[in-house]
Amino acid sequence: MLQSWIHHITRAVAAADPSIPAKKVFSPKHKLPPVASYRLDPGPEFWSRFPCNPCLVGKSSIDPSKLRNLAFSLGFKNQTLVDTVCRDLVDGADIGCRGPARLPSVSSNAPSAYEFPEQITDSIADWILAGFAAGPFHPNERPPDAKVNGIMCREKPNGSARIILNLSSPKGKSVNDGVNGEDFPTSMSSIRKWLEILDRAGRHCVILKLDWASAYKHLAVKPQDVVLQYFNWLGRDFAEVWLVFGGRSSAGLYDRLALVLALVLLFAVFPGDQVIQYLDDVCAAAPQGSKATLHNFERAYRSVANHLGVQLAPTTDPDKAFSPCTDGVVLGVRYDTRNWTWCIPAEGAPGSSTRSAAWTRSLMSANTKSGQ
């Protein structure tokens, strides 16, 4: 039965402990002078070769006028949402930090930052060139009301680093402590909803996944809040000018941009009960023989995204995004709709899993409607 299917898959996802594949060798994109200590300022020669972006004001790639006009032309009914999103795009998003949490503070970087210092340095250089962050600035130039947040790091399977600005420190006085999460609700989907879509679409159905590239970097924060998003690396200051991964309000602010999906559904005349959105992942399924319909939805989404200025991830990495097919990873689970099986993929190893095919098939066939 469907409920048994949902129960087994959600439990497996929660309990999964994928084997860790061999790490790829890190190759820096930027040829910078060697650094003796990543806890000290490396000196003028290093900084003369480091990218520089003095602008502390971000500008969204999404065109608010085009978004408003498209919503009007399609007859989108929620004008309040359109107005709110357009205000975010024009003025920058208010991250919602209030009260004493806005007072200046300085937090140290986490030990994890110094486990992958070359990767972090390379990633910050990328941010500067992309305009996602401003800097480097000498600490003497630091605004008196700046909050300097510590950074943490998580190594990616490709060997690069995911920088996480710790907006939850210092405890009791952090940026996140000043944000009321109830002011930034999200309406994200779930594995349960996706399984219900698969159940309706049936065996041999086609599925697709679209993904926004650098999703949070589609929405700049308002200039008054940039001062809350400083961090220090190699003795110099930087500031994120876009939504921060790890910010309490970031998911809710980004979720408002789900308006784009609502517009695509109107534009493509595609049924909303065949699609889910989880943060920046948009996943859809259609019954066997409906591949053309799903291709039309994909083309419509890409057309609207290109028109508005949304940057989509390429399908060259199928674990991130893929065109209509019968085998793909959705919300951390790999589904094969031809064999009607599922498995938990090992991170960084496309196609691998931590469960045997026989085990997964037996659970998928528990679905009385589609287990044929």
Do residues 351 and 184 touch, judged by C-beta distance below 8 A? Answer: no
pLDDT at site 355: 43
Task: Fold for 2-364, please state it.
Answer: Alpha-Beta Plaits (3.30.70)
Q: How many helices (H) and strands (E) does the chain have?
A: 11, 14
pLDDT category at 16 given cuts 50, 70, 90 is low
Measured on CA atoms in the order 345, 348, 351, 352, is the torsion positive or negative?
negative
For the beta sheet containing 206-211, the strands, ordered from the edge strand earlier in sequence to the opposite edge, are: 275-278, 281-286, 206-211, 322-325
Which residues does residue 275 pair with via DSSP β-bridges, in sequence order?
Answer: 284
pLDDT band at 372 (very low <50, low <70, confident <90, very high): very low
pLDDT score at 52? 97
Q: According to the model, what pLDDT value does residue 363 have?
A: 42
Could you tell me the pTM of the whole model? 0.85
Q: How far apart are CA 223 and CA 348, in angstroms?
A: 37
End-to-end CA distance of the chain: 13
Residue with tokens 């949070």: 216
- Over the stretch 135-174, which tens digit does the pLDDT of each residue have? 999 999 999 999 999 999 887 767 777 899 999 999 999 9
Give the residue, 12 or 29, on which the prediction is more confident: 29
Mean pLDDT across the chain: 88
d(CA 48, CA 30): 13
Domain coordinates of the chain in residue numbers?
A: 2-364
Write out pLDDT tens, residues 257-275. Answer: 889 999 999 999 999 999 9
So what's the pLDDT on residue 88?
A: 96
* Least confidently predicted of 5-19, 206-220, 261-275, 292-306: 5-19
What digits encode the pLDDT tens for the residues 30-57? Answer: 999 989 999 999 999 999 999 999 999 9
Q: How far is CA 297 from CA 268, 311, 341, in A?
A: 6, 17, 25
| Distance, CA of 290 to CA of 292 (rounded, Å) | 5
